[in-house]
A and B are shown apart, each in its own frame.
Chain A
Amino acid sequence: MVIKKALVIGGGVAGIQAALDIADAGYEVFLVEKDSSIGGHMIQYSEVFPTLDCPQCIMTPKMVQVGQHPNIRLLAYSEVESVSGEAGNFTVQVRRKASYVNWKKCTGCGLCQTKCPVTAPAEFERWLPFGPRKAIYVPFGQAVPNKPVIDRETCRFFTQGKCKICQRLCPTGAVDYEQKETVTEINVGAIIVATGFELYAKRDIPEFAVDADIVDGIEFERILCPGGPTAGSVMRPSDRKTPREVAFISCVGSRDPEHGFPYCSRVCCMYLAKLAMLYKHAVPDGQAYIFYMDIRSTGKGYEEFVQRAVEEDEVIYLRGRASRVFRDGEKLKVWGADTLTGKRVEVSCDMVVLGMAMIPNPKGVELARKLGLATDDYGFITEAHAKLRPLETSVPGIYVAGTAQGPKDIPDSVAQASGAASKVLALLASGEAVLEKAR
């Protein structure tokens, strides 16, 4: 007996694609997302390689489709608590977190946020000192669902028993400080895990100083993003000055079996080239330096894209891993080497962007453990067969898509999502589940 419903865990680009494919085939699908909006990391970027498309522009139509699709039940601000059963018949407990706003009553008018007296660094902005959010907030303008949540840690009512301005302002009486988190039980025939990635923490690389102007890729995306907290003005966090020289460092934590991870994170070569180009587009008289070991540009149009960075945007590529990054007054010094000319080099720049290793989302790793999925040494979900069954996990009926399986770019994540969806559709359509042991 196969329940003809599916569950997709994770609302990034992979989860969104998988949910849409399953829904378009006529099956009901639940999409559970831990944040209050779907969109994942892709919605945070400024422009994506190699097309330099605006990710908000290309994603939001899909996000709206998810929000409005008759076959998709979007459970945002929720997490999977437990799963029992087997392929064809899973019982899933989903914890609906308390947002303290009744989303059924909320119309998304935004009045509640206008007078909230609190500001706090925004998680969506990677806690940069730009674009703070309120205690009651929607993470970004194109959020789906476009409903706010209240952060208990900063809200004046929860911490001091005062204020309640948002409740007074709300025209539909949607603010409910008494709201409790609930658990919903759902039954599905198949599950796709698409819990995505995080970036390895900058502070875990001790030879690079902890400094406001040493940022990672996603922080720099937010600074570059025209719809971002600086409206696309490139300014450095410490003093908001425009950086005239920016150094980008590849392989930070990646390809480093001794101190980090032995694997290559696959996308950094491309996104660092992209970030350098976008920086140059915004600061035409600026200079970008990229410290690299190799250039891995294997996708369609990727090699040409990197060449463009060098020839059109005059990015200087220095072949050698950086040994130290530290502040010296107004400047940041990068000690590197250019092995091609045989020189040890020092670059004094205004900002440094680190290409941090891609690691699986820690919540995803925790979820994999709950689901009994095999993972590798780094927490990426292990495939049933590395070559021939890349979307099946060690548990029949549970599939994987996107960076939860390993570092990859957006096209591959989307392709995997559709692939995983097809596996789900086969299971649901056939009405039969084969419970073979994964090899």
Chain B
Amino acid sequence: MRTELSIKKLRSDFVKKVEELSGQSLLSCNQCGKCSAGCPMCFAMDLLPNQVIRLAQLGLEEDIAKANTVWVCASCLTCSVRCPRGVDLGRVMEAIRLVTMRKNVDYLDAVKISTATLSSLPQIALVSGFRKHTA
């Protein structure tokens, strides 16, 4: 099965939105892989961070949506500080999360969290978890 690439995908609303929300130029990334090499949450990701930004460059929104990568990202910003091209990948991840969440599709469902967990988590965890994974 071939993945079709086209101007329509390359210049899609998705690509424009990700760049607008993140303030980053996706094509600055030359896929060196340093972000993935240093990512602490990689072990749990379906796709590597560099693969996600590659898919974003090519406008392949559905492939990104199938992977858990942006939701497992911990916003640690290791990628951002080490990127040789100065791409703030942390912002790109946030932008991709927001594109989904602003369609009213949250990653975290508050209802599903048990009372026991809610009472054991400190505020700092709850607030940050909800901030990042719900809109």
A and B, direct touch (CB closer than 8 Å): yes
- Shortest CB distance B63–A (Å): 12
- Interface window among B15-23, B44-52, B102-110: B44-52
The answer on a CB contact under 8 Å between A337 and B30 is no
Q: How far is the CA of A293 from the CA of B82 in the complex (A)?
A: 15
The answer on a CB contact under 8 Å between A336 and B33 is yes
- Interface window among A104-112, A161-169, A321-329: A321-329
- Shortest CB distance A322–B (Å): 6
The residue of chain A having its C-beta at the shortest distance from the C-beta of B32 within the complex is: A321
The answer on a CB contact under 8 Å between B84 and A323 is no
The answer on a CB contact under 8 Å between A344 and B86 is no
The answer on a CB contact under 8 Å between B51 and A342 is yes
Within 8 A of A (CB), among B39-78: 39, 42-43, 47-48, 50-51, 78
Tell me if B34 counts as interface (CB < 8 A to partner A): yes
The answer on a CB contact under 8 Å between B47 and A336 is no
Given A257-B86, A342-B47, A323-B34 contact (CB < 8 Å): yes
The answer on a CB contact under 8 Å between B36 and A344 is yes
Q: How far is the CA of A343 from the CA of B49 in the complex (A)?
A: 10
The answer on a CB contact under 8 Å between A258 and B86 is yes
The answer on a CB contact under 8 Å between A344 and B84 is no
Given A336-B37, A342-B51, A344-B48, A323-B82 contact (CB < 8 Å): yes
Given A342-B51, A344-B42, A344-B48, A337-B82 contact (CB < 8 Å): no
Residue of A207, A260, A293, A323 with most partner-chain B CB within 10 A = A323
Contact with B along A329-345 (1 / 0, CB 8 A): 00000011111001111
Given A339-B48, A339-B51, A344-B43, A320-B36 contact (CB < 8 Å): yes
Q: How far is the CA of A338 from the CA of B33 in the complex (A)?
A: 7
Tell me if B83 counts as interface (CB < 8 A to partner A): yes
Tell me if A319 counts as interface (CB < 8 A to partner B): yes
The answer on a CB contact under 8 Å between B33 and A337 is yes
How many A residues face the partner with a CB closer than 8 A? 24
Residue of A321, A324, A339, A343 with most partner-chain B CB within 10 A = A321
A residues in contact with B51, CB < 8 Å: 339, 342
The answer on a CB contact under 8 Å between A322 and B37 is yes
B interface residue count range (under 10 / 10 to 19 / 20 to 34 / 35 or more)? 20 to 34
Q: How far is the CA of A325 from the CA of B48 in the complex (A)?
A: 20
The answer on a CB contact under 8 Å between A321 and B85 is no
Tell me if A255 counts as interface (CB < 8 A to partner B): yes
Q: How far is the CA of A259 from the CA of B39 in the complex (A)?
A: 19
Tell me if B38 counts as interface (CB < 8 A to partner A): yes
Tell me if A256 counts as interface (CB < 8 A to partner B): yes
The answer on a CB contact under 8 Å between B38 and A323 is yes
B residues in contact with A323, CB < 8 Å: 34-35, 37-38, 78, 82
B residues in contact with A339, CB < 8 Å: 31, 33, 36, 48, 50-51
The residue of chain B having its C-beta at the shortest distance from the C-beta of A322 within the complex is: B37
Q: Point out residues on A near B: beta carbons under 8 Å.
A: 207, 251, 255-260, 293, 319-324, 335-339, 342-345
Listed by A's residue number, 25 A-B pairs whose Cβ atoms lie within 8 Å are A207-B38, A256-B84, A257-B84, A257-B85, A258-B84, A259-B82, A293-B32, A319-B33, A320-B33, A320-B50, A321-B32, A321-B33, A321-B84, A322-B34, A322-B37, A323-B34, A323-B35, A323-B37, A323-B78, A323-B82, A337-B34, A344-B36, A344-B37, A344-B39, A344-B43
- List 7 additional A-B contacts (Cβ < 8 Å) besides A320-B36, A342-B48: A258-B85, A321-B32, A321-B37, A339-B31, A339-B50, A344-B39, A344-B42
**Shortest beta-carbon contacts, A-B, top 10:** A320-B33, A323-B38, A323-B37, A256-B84, A337-B33, A321-B34, A337-B36, A337-B37, A344-B42, A258-B86
